[in-house]
Amino acid sequence: MLKTDSPEVIRSFNVGLAISTFLIVLTGLLTLFSASRGPGLQSLTKLQGVYFFAGCILAAAIIFIDSDFLKKVAYPAYGVCLGLLALVLVVGHVGNGSQRWINLGFFRLQPSEFAKIAIILALARYFSDEKKGGPYSLKRLILPALLIVPYFVLIKKQPDMGTAGIVFLTAASMILFIGVEWKSIFLVMMVTMISLPLAYKYVLHDYQRNRVKTFLNPMSDPRATGYNALQCRIAVGSGKVLGKGYMEGTQAQLNFIPEQHTDFIFSVFAEERGFVGALLLLGLYASYLLFSVRSILRARDKFELLVAVGLTAVMFWHVFINIGMVIGVLPIVGVTLPFFSYGGSSMMMFMICTALLLNISRKRYIF
Amino acid sequence: MIGREDEVKEYRTRIWMFQVTIVLGFLILAGRLFYLQILKGDELGSVSEANRLKKEKVVAARGRIYDRNGKVIIDNRAAFDAVLVSQYYSFEDRDNRRLASALKMNADEFDKKLSKINRGPSYAPGLLKADIGKELIAAIETAPLGFPGVDIESNVQRKYHFGEVSAQLFGYISEVGKKDIKTDSRLQQGDYIGRTGLERFFDSELRGNDGVGYVEVDARGRRRRSENSDKILGYFSRTEPSPGDSLYLTIDIDLSQTANQSMRSHEFNGTVIALDPRTGEILAMVNQPSYDPGKISGREVDPVIWSRLQNNRDRPMRNRAIQDIYMPGSTFKTIVGIAALGEGVAKKTKGMECHGFIKTGNHKLNCWKTHGWTDFVKAIRESCNVYFSQLGAELGIDTIARYARLFGFGSATGALPSGEQKGLIPDSEWKLKTLKQEWLPGETLSAAIGQGYVTITPIQLVNAYATIATEGVRYKPFLIRRIEKPNGEVVKEFKPEKQSEIKLDPELWKTVKEGLFQVVNQPGGTASVSGRSKKTIISGKTGTAQVRGFSDISKIKNCMALPVQQRHHGWFVGYAPRENPEIAVVALAENSCHGSSAAPIVRDVIEAYFDKINLEKGIPVQEETTKTPPNKKGYQVPFQEMDE
């Protein structure tokens, strides 16, 4: 798998990753068009296209950034993001019951999206500076934990359980990859199992508890909390093998699917394209992830490697949790589907992820 | 730089962690998709169909009601209601004000409606305002900011073309309540059923069978507006409703209007019935006061209108023609006269002296006038109490009762399936049975002049005089000629039904009819001014029914001095023309004191009947109608018309 012969940019360019990205974005825009035919939503596809275009420009710049520079800005970026996360709680724009956005006039910035990248960079920087390496004991993980906790707390406070969860899972994936003592893993698992019921009772909000409840029993209240989960499942299932056809999904077109242009957009696609289409889309995401694994392999130092690991993880968790909640293997949490869900910050964030992955895979043996 | 290769080398061997996680994760997702889309696909597919397709009742049009000439009396019209789905409505003050003003509702009324809607399920449309006009619909649909949650629902409402005319006979309809659904399982919420009159009696014929349609709705339950022309109505599939059957009545609605108008212009409460003596077909049956059934047959009934109707002491919803009993007063004398002639107690040429009163034992009965020498025809003409009481005494109550029953008194005529009163024809057996007392001879004196225990319904009275008009052939009065399916197929046809034939000497009929003729057409007749027509010859009889007790009979002359509620009812019942009568009419003018008050109403109806026939035959209508000044409650009746 390793190409050691050529320093050429083009030949070492992770073409598969780029192609996967373009195919996913294209499918995503088409699906978004179908999902946003309702009143007041028709302009969303165009806007999403603009965000993608802006993301491309941003990505083109990022591809050529030197990784040493990234390493240098890792902590400052972490600090800026932390500031924004704090700021959003003060001046943030409120929507759908949470305070997630900073209104810039032309654009509503969602700092928590960029926080995902910032935490990856910061952790990568921390662990690459740590010369001793793994496996880590719990004691040695206290410092990196101190990096994660403020982000987690601030995001949870918005509240945005989905993003907080993604930050946690991404960081955990990176730490696990680096290596943790078995003893410590066992200990954490024990503590988690004990504290989970307590957390359910005291940490979660009412609406979050309801989501868990309806996940376990969606028919418990089909008109209220369970409605979204149920309608999504009906949409996906009624797509059957080949789907109802593009823009013919009745669940979507008649607005039975809530938030169908953002978190639940996968159900729109699955209803229209059926099992075959859904499998193909899963295949696209899988290929994106497997190509991004190739970037991990091409990393030339520990920092780059850990960044690639984090980016792959963030991508995986997004796809898995989003589709998982839509089709009912996970409770409903607000997690977007990369390149599909409408949202400028989200689109930018995933374009940056892709660009960083392309950057890392590009630079092998460039001197 | 190569040196950094070492620090990543060992990690590369861990890449399997990623590959395994990714593959496992995606396998879980794919497995779940397989379960939902392949294994559960059909089931969830039908759930999704049920989601988008809402079963809707396709309301069957209620059958029409036509008059004898095919004129539509009652049919249906489209109506539009403003409804609100509360879960999509803001309930903000600003929107409330906007919406209330768009619907032209005052704040109180609007708030009441809102809180009522709020008590119902949030997804079900609740009624804001029923039967709104085009302007309000436009105000709602073109409002610049729109009204989220507000929808216009269409439905069908009953249209009563002639309003209050015969309202008690035709009846009204209303939406079913929980009670109705309990008693009749075929009824569903939103159905309308007839509550009174023909609407009720023929409800199952009129109602028809609703169809079922499927409309595509969005998540809000609103009909999707489709561009496809084949879905204009929004129905994906439907079973057609079968409209209700139509009723073709014997009623002549023009004549009914005349009767109603005449009652109104004379300002009396009461009833008018006209029928064809040759067939028993009821041509008109009106009551005053009346009401507009259209006002209480809609989806929303104004509680003020409703309570006014319910609490009105004059009972505007009562069909007096069949539902109320009255004393027949002097109109009963004709029956007693026929009995006397039939039994040989009286003869045309035989007479007697009226001294102004008659005594039996300690029972004294006054005549309204001292008639002097009185023969049969004069006794009828001038309505002599003494003469008929004397005949009555000679006949005995049981014979009077037997003759009265021959003319249909004492039992329901069957004009309507139910709700009809029977009245009472007393006899000695009846009194012994119900009051456990012997019949007193003095009571016969009162019974013979239609007082005392004798009670009748207006329909019985007109039918009895129709039987006199036909010289003994009694038909069952009826209202429905035929019931027709919407396609014209006749479901049921009703033919004149001869109930009995009273076989008496033709000379007897001639004598009786001569008396009735003279009542109207001979000076001294009790209706010779009030009932006489220049267009046709009316024969008939006046009567006064007491409202107060038996003992007040001596106060009759001071009737106008009594409070209105206690004044006597005036009867006039008659037929025309003199030979081969075509129409018999009764009018009851409540609290009018005199039968002569009712006579002009009967005359108006009879003249309208012949005017219409002449018009149809091409004979120009005589412009000069017989006019008496409207006999209002203060009008002084000429002395010779004073009855009793």
Computed over every residue of chain A, the mean pLDDT equals 88
What does the pLDDT read at residue B616? 85
* Euclidean distance between CA atoms A172 and A148, whole angstroms: 10
State the residue for tokens 């039939």.
B342
- Confidence check: pLDDT of B583 > 90: yes
The 10s digit of each residue's pLDDT in A226-276 is: 778 888 999 999 999 999 999 988 888 888 888 889 999 999 999 999 999
Q: Looking at residue B151, what is its pLDDT?
A: 82
Is the CB of A38 inside 8 Å of chain B's CB atoms? Answer: no
In this structure, what are the phi and psi dihedrals at residue A10, rounded to the nearest 5 degrees? Answer: -60, -45
Helix (H, G, I), strand (E, B) or coil at B513: helix
Would you say the C-alpha torsion B151, B156, B161, B164 has a positive or negative sign?
A: negative
What's the start-to-end Cα distance of chain A, in Å?
A: 21
Q: Both tokens of residue A211?
A: 């989501």
pLDDT of B540 reads 94
A328 touches B at CB < 8 Å: yes
Please tell me the pTM assigned to this model.
0.69
Q: How many CB atoms lie within 10 A of CB A215?
A: 18
Beta-carbon contacts of residue A227 (< 8 Å; ≥ 6 apart): A221, A258
Cα angle at A163 between B219 and A103, to 5 degrees? 80
Report the SS3 class of residue A182: helix
Residue B222 has pLDDT above 80, yes or no: no
Choice among A136-140, B187-191, B494-498, B519-523 with the minimum mean pLDDT = B187-191
The Cα–Cα gap between B190 and B177 comes to 9
Q: Do A255 and B219 touch (CB under 8 A)?
A: yes
**CA–CA dist B437, B567 (Å, integer):** 30
* Cβ A359 vs Cβ A65: under 8 Å: yes
Token pair of A284, please?
């696209």
pLDDT tens-digit series, residues B609-618: 999 998 888 8
Distances (CA, A) of B178 to A168, A216, B283: 58, 38, 37
The residue with greater pLDDT, A339 or A3, is A339
Q: For the segment B418-440, what is each residue's pLDDT rounded down to a tens digit? A: 889 999 999 999 999 998 999 98
Counting beta carbons within 10 angstroms of the beta carbon of residue B496, is it exposed (0 to 12), middle (13 to 18) or buried (19 or more)?
Answer: middle
Q: Which of B34-38, B45-49, B514-518 has the lowest mean pLDDT?
A: B45-49
CB < 8 Å to B224, chain A: 254
Would the pLDDT of B327 be above 90?
A: yes
Tokens 């359910």 -> residue: A200
Question: Which CATH superfamily does the domain covering B264-305+317-641 fall into?
Answer: DD-peptidase/beta-lactamase superfamily (3.40.710.10)
CB nearest A296 (choices: B15, B51, B219):
B15
Mean predicted confidence (pLDDT) in B504-512 = 93
Q: In Å, how far is A51's CA from the nearest CA of chain B? A: 28
**Region of poorest pLDDT, from A19-23, A358-362, B123-127, B473-477:** B123-127
Which residues, 6 or more positions from B510, have their beta carbon under 8 angstroms from its beta carbon? none
Going B182 to B185 to B188 to B193, the CA torsion angle's sign is: negative
Average pLDDT over residues B383-404: 92
Closest-approach residue (CA) in chain B for A267: B33
- Given a cut of 80, whether residue A133 has pLDDT beyond it is no
- Of A255-264, B172-181, B215-224, give the lowest mean pLDDT range: B215-224
Q: Do B26 and A285 touch (CB under 8 A)?
A: yes
Q: Is the pLDDT of residue B363 over 80?
A: no
Q: Tell me the pLDDT band of B190, cut-offs 50, 70 and 90.
A: confident
B139: left (phi over 0), alpha (psi -120 to 50) or beta: alpha
To the nearest whole Å, the CA of B19 is away from the closest chain A CA by 7
Reading the block at residue A155, the tokens are 């995001």
CA distances from A15 to A291, A339, A354 (A): 9, 18, 11
Nearest to A297 among B12, B17, B22 (CB): B12
> Quick one: pLDDT at residue B188?
82
Tokens 């016969």 sit on residue: B444
**pLDDT bucket at A6, cuts 50 / 70 / 90:** very low
- The structure tokens listed for A307 are 């960044």
CB contact under 8 A, A237 and B40: yes
User: Domain ranges in chain B?
Assistant: 2-39, 264-305+317-641
Q: Are B367 and B644 in contact (CB under 8 A)?
A: yes
What is the amino acid identity at position A360? Answer: I
Q: In angstroms, what CA-CA distances link A332 with A94, A162, A321?
A: 20, 9, 9
Tell whether B1 lies on the interface with A, counting CB pairs under 8 A. yes
Distance from CA of B55 to the nearest CA of A (A): 16
- ipTM greater than 0.90, yes or no? yes
User: What confidence score (pLDDT) does residue A216 get?
Assistant: 74
pLDDT > 50? residue B619: yes
- Tell me the C-alpha distance between B143 and B71, whole Å: 41
pLDDT of residue B362: 73
Q: Shortest CA distance to B593 belongs to which of B524, B540, B542?
A: B542
Alpha-carbon distance of B257 to B272, in angstroms, equals 11
Cβ-defined contact of B17 to A324 (cutoff 8 Å) = no
Confidence of residue B632 (pLDDT cuts 50, 70, 90): very low
Within the 556-585 window of chain B, which residues sit less than 8 Å (CB to CB) from chain A? Answer: none
CB contact under 8 A, A234 and B29: no
A334-343, B204-213, B499-508, B576-585: the lowest-pLDDT one: B204-213
List the single residue in A with minimal CA-CA distance to B221.
A254
